[in-house]
Structures are given as C-alpha cells and as structure tokens.
A and B are shown apart, each in its own frame.
Chain A
Amino acid sequence: MGKMVAVHSYKGGTGKTLISTNLAVTLAKHGKKVCLLDLDFRAPSLSTLLKIDKAEYWLNDYLNGVCEIDKALIDLSDRIANQGKFFVGLANPSVEAIRDMSSKDRKWEMRALGRLLSLRNSLLNAKGFDYVIFDTSPGLQYSSINAIVSADIVIVATTLDNSDVEGTRRMLRDLYDLFEKKTEIVLNKVLYDDALRSGRDKLQAMVKDTYEVPLLGVIPCFCDVSRAEGKIIFVHDKPEHPFTRILAEVAAKMDKL
C-alpha cells in the first residue's frame, strides 16, 4: 500500500517546492511510481519549474468536480529516464484561476477534502502509486489543511529563522497534533558546517526540544541551488551534487516510515 505525503511549512520560501519536487524525482529514480500534486493554488509554481504552459485539465478542475484525477495527471516518466514512474498534477497558474480558488466557500472546501481523501482509492489502490506527494501553500490555508488531513505523513520544511521556528512550533501543536499526523521535520538552508559537520548533533537536539517531532533531514544552504534559479530539477540534472545525496537519504528514511 502506497503513502500520501504532504510537504508543508509555516512560512513561504522555506523550500517546500524544492523538497517535494526533488523528493518525488528521487523516489521515481529509485523505481517508485510517484505522483506529485501542486496544491499551492495561490502561487502555483510546478508548471513553471516543469516548463508546462498548457494542460488539458488542471488539479483545479479535479477539485471542482469537472474531471476525474487521471485526466489531470501528466506523465513525465520519460524525463527522468528510469524504470520508475513520475506523474504530476498542476495548479492552474492563470490569475483568473487563482482568484477563483481564493473565493471558495466552506462547502466547496468540504467537497475538496472528500476528493483529496478519495485519491487513496483512485491513485494508491487502483493505479498502484507508491507515493502521492502534495506540494502545499504555506500557513493555515484551506487547501493545505485539506492536504494535511488527507496525508499519512506530513513533512514540515523549516529554517532556523526565528519567526519560522516559533510559527512552526505553534502550528505543530495547534494543527498537526489535533489531526494526530505522523510529522517529520526537514531543516532547510542551514549553514554548511552546522548541517554536515560539528553542529549535526546540536541540531538534532534542538529539533527534538523545540518541535518534539523527529528530524527527517538537514539540507545545507547550497549556493548552487540558488544559482539554478528554480529552472532545473536538481537531483536529476546534478546527480553527483551533495544536495542529491542528501535528498536520497531523506527519501530512503521516509520510505521506511
């Protein structure tokens, strides 16, 4: 039985899309059948990152009840040249669609939750996906909480920025705990020495003390990642880079959860 994973954060810019995309591709490169879904309807980014301007159906259409999920999925397996499978479902990046998604009422959100929950049947059970990974909006957005409720595992991307730490801590206590979710932390943009050398144990202890949830991985602040300007899928284009190795470790650890 496959798993549904939500990648979430308190603040924006913590690396949710970077982590979710590279995690999805890493898993697919290791032979898994993976589906990556962009649930950040307020600021869609996967369509740009994956260079897909047009889609016959978007995830917006699936949640609106216009189509079934298979119509909204795009098969990008050939891009990763491997035995694994990589599918994506994109959020419509047009301003009109963003405006439409921001004005939904509670009844619509309730139905959207039902449709996300039903992906367990349609994708994991019927289509044999090993992973469905949700890339979400930061903070307490409806679409993000829907994703969290639907997921088996929540990965929280966070940095050492003070307001991010405080906000993440509150969110863990007031949101994830209430839904009894298996939650793991990925620390991103950590100074290289702290992440990989002397500070590793200290970080582990800090995460345990502050968040009271396990640390899934530590990603140092790589200038190469910033330099790529979100134009490439890092683990695919730079297989020898330390970032790729770290993502492989995170993926392997997550696979055992």
Chain B
Amino acid sequence: MADKEVLGKKPLQILEKIRENLERLNEKMEVMIELQKHGRRDVQPIPSEAPLDVMTLLSMPDHLRKTAMTVCRLGRATADEVAQQTRRARAVESAYLNQLVIMGYLKKERQGRKAYFYIEKEGQG
C-alpha cells in the first residue's frame, strides 16, 4: 500500500517540477521580449541596489512607473496582484516586474509556485 502511494506521488512531483521550470522559462522569455520591445536603454542594471524613491519613479519610463508604483502601494505582490491593479495582462506585468528586479529596484522571492516582488527596505519599514 505504502509503495503504491510513493509510486503514485512520484510522477505528480515530476510534473510539478516540470511546470515550475516551464513557468520560470516563460518569465525569462517575457523579459527578453520586453527588452526587445523597449530597447536595452530602459533596463540597464544599476550598480549595487538602487533605492526606489519618488525622484527615481519620476525618471522612469511610463510603463515601468505604473508597475513600480503599484508594488509601492501593495508592499509585496505577485504579478497577478499587480495586474489586477493596473488592468494590464499578467504576462506583461511579470515582464515589467522582472525588469525592475534586473534594474535593482525590486527584489524577488519564491514561495512554492508563487513569485513575490517587493522593495528592499533593509529590515525597516
């Protein structure tokens, strides 16, 4: 009985792992597509971590500002939650969020299948 359960679970775990990897691959592709769309100029990584203050928000391209401001408001959010606020597609928000991570403005943390985006506040806030 116990052996059957183990055997039954294993393929599920493998499928789950494949799905996670596909999702990560998808996110990476979304970032690459966005990079091509807006040009590399917008998403130059900034040396060391960059504070996401209002002057930085002001100097951002419009499409990224909207996403960054939403994360400011929500504190910590998934691409889904941001997309609900901005009324843009989840895939688009996922790409913008990942761009903001590359630029050093946001941090990303995985919890199970979900990826959370937030602003690093060095233990304060």
Contacts and interface: CB of A to CB of B under 8 A. Distances in A.
Q: Do A and B come from one complex?
A: yes
Interface of A: 65, 106-107, 109-111, 113-115, 117-118, 142, 145-146, 149, 175, 178-180
A111 B54 contact: no
Interface centre among B54, B65, B66 (most CB of A within 10 A): B54
B54 A149 contact: yes
Nearest to A145: B54
Interface residues of B, number: 20
5 contacts: A106-B56, A109-B51, A114-B119, A114-B125, A149-B69
A182 B54 CA distance: 18
B51 A110 contact: yes
Interface centre among B51, B62, B65, B69 (most CB of A within 10 A): B51
B72 A117 contact: yes
A175 B53 contact: no
Contact of A113 (B54, B62, B65): B54
Nearest to B59: A178
Contact of A109 (B54, B66, B75, B125): B54
A106 B72 contact: no
A175 B125 contact: no
Contacts of A109: 51, 53-55
B125 A149 contact: no
A142 B66 CA distance: 19
Contacts, number: 54
B41 interface: no
Given A113-B72, A114-B72, A149-B69, A142 B54 contact: yes
A180 B74 CA distance: 17
B15 interface: no
Contact of A179 (B69, B75, B122): B69
In order of increasing CB-CB distance, the 8 nearest A-B pairs are A145-B54, A110-B53, A110-B51, A106-B51, A107-B51, A109-B53, A106-B53, A114-B125
Interface string B80-95: 0000000000000000
Contacts of A117: 72-73, 75
A111 B58 contact: no
A160 B9 CA distance: 74
B65 A178 contact: yes
A54 B119 CA distance: 35
A109 B53 CA distance: 6
Interface string B36-72: 0000000000000001111111100010011001001
Given A117-B72, A178-B65, A110 B58 contact: no
B10 interface: no
